[in-house]
Chain A
Amino acid sequence: MNLLVVFLGAALVNNYVFTKFLGICPFFGVSKRTNTALGMGAAVTFVIVFAGAVTWTVYHLLLEPLKIVFMQQATFILVIAASVQLLEMIIQKTNKKLFDAFGIYLALITTNCIILAVAIVNVMEQYNFLEAVVNSLGAGIGFALALILMSGIRERMEQSPVPRCLKGVPIALIITGLLALAFSGFGGII
C-alpha cells in the first residue's frame, strides 16, 4: 500500500516534469514526434530505475559507513555516467533490437537532470531500497507520460495558426503550463 502511494506520488501528484520542472531540456527537445517521445520515455524509465538502485546502494553501503556524505554529488554523477555507459554496452552486446531503439537516447540521458534528482530525492526522503526503486519507476513513467502527452499536442500544433512571436518554445511553455494546471487536479488522490 505504501509502495502504491510512493508510485502514484512520483508519477502523477508530484510529476517530476510538471511540478518539479526536471528533465525540461529533453522534454522540449524530443517532444515533437510521438514515436521519438515513446523511445526517449522508455529509455529514461529504464535508466532511472537502474541508476536509482545503484546510487541508493552506493550511498547506504559506501558513503554513509565511511562518513563521506559530502561526496554525494560527485559520486552520484560519476556513478550515473558510468552506469549509463555500462548499460549501453550491455544492451549493444545482448539485444541488438533494443539497442537500435534506445541507442541514440542513451548518451543524452546522462545529462538529464531528472536522473540525478531522483537519486537525490531517494536519499533525502530516506526511502528503503524497495521504495527507492518504486519511486524511480514512478518518476520514469511520469516523465514518459508527460513526453507523450506533449508530443501529441505538438503534432497538432503544427497545423494551428500560432502568432509569430509565440512560435516554438514560448507556445510549448504555455501549453506545459496548462498541462501542469491539469496535473494539479491529481493533488487529492493520495
Chain B
Amino acid sequence: MKQATIELIKGLWKENPTFRMLIGMCAPLAITNMVFNGIMMGLATTFVLVLSGLVVSLIKNIVPHKVRIPVFVVIIATFVTVADYYIAAYYPDTHRVLGLYLPLIVVNCLILARIEAFASKMPVFKSFMDALGMGIGFTLALVIISSVREILGFGTWLGIKAMPASYQPMSIMIQPAGAFITLGLIIALINIISRKKTSGDSA
C-alpha cells in the first residue's frame, strides 16, 4: 500500500510531467487561457491515461513485443475517441474551444511514455496509481498555468471576478506568446524552489 502511495505522489511534484519531465507540452500551452478549459483538458487526459494504462497492464503478457507500440496506440486512440465524443455531447461549448487538441491527446507523448515505461512492465494496481498520479499532476499543472493566464489576461478566475474593477487586463497573456512566457517563468520558479529544497536537505 505504501509503495502504491509513492507511485501516486511522485506525479504531483518530483516527476510532474509538465514542470519537471517536460513532456506532453502542446496542451499545457494551447488551451490554458481559461481555467475551465484547463480542468476539462486535464480530466480528459487523466481519463485516457488511467484507462489505457489499466488495459495495457492487463494484456501486457499477451501482446507480442514487436507489435506493442501499434497495439498501445490503438488502445489510446480508442479511449481518446470516447473522451472526445463524450465532451462533444455534454459540453459542446468547451468542445468547440478545445477542438483540435482533444483528438491530439493520442499523440501526447506523456501517455505513451507512461505506458511504455510503466504500465507495460508493472502489475495492474501499481500502474493504475502511477497513471492516476501523472494525470492529477498534469491537471494540476494545467490549472496553475491557466490560473495565471486567466487572472492576468481577463481579470477573472473560473469566470469569477478576481481583480479590482480598475484592473486593465493584459491581452498578451491570452495570446499564444503569453502561454510560452508564463510556462517559462513557472518552470524557472520551480527550478529555484527545488534547488533551495535540495541544498537545504544536504546541509
Contacts and interface: CB of A to CB of B under 8 A. Distances in A.
Interface of A: 18-22, 24-25, 28, 70-74, 77-78, 81, 111-113, 116-117, 120-121, 124, 163-166, 169-174, 176-178, 180-181, 184
Interface in B15-59: 22-23, 25-26, 29-30
Contact of A170 (B78, B106, B191): B191
B170 interface: no
A19 B108 CA distance: 18
Give the secondary structure class of A's interface.
helix
B181 interface: yes
Given A20-B30, A73-B77, A173 B187 contact: yes
B187 A170 contact: yes
Contacts, number: 115
A78 B67 CA distance: 12
A25 B77 contact: no
A21 B70 CA distance: 25
A22 B176 CA distance: 12
Contacts of B165: none
Q: Do most interface residues of chain B lie in helix, strand or loop, or is the interface mixed?
A: helix
Interface of B: 22-23, 25-26, 29-30, 69-70, 73-74, 77-78, 80-81, 84-85, 99-100, 103-104, 106-109, 112, 172, 175-181, 183-185, 187-189, 191-192, 195
Given A73-B81, A121-B100, 10 more contacts: A20-B30, A20-B100, A28-B22, A70-B81, A111-B112, A124-B100, A165-B189, A170-B185, A173-B181, A177-B178
Contact of A72 (B103, B179, B195): B103
B77 A169 contact: no
Given A173-B183, A177-B181, A178-B177, A165 B30 contact: no
B26 A24 contact: yes
A19 B175 CA distance: 8
A72 B103 CA distance: 9
A132 to B, nearest CB: 15
Given A73-B81, A166-B184, A171-B184, A24 B25 contact: yes
A176 B180 contact: yes
A3 B99 CA distance: 24
Contacts of B100: 20, 117, 120-121, 124
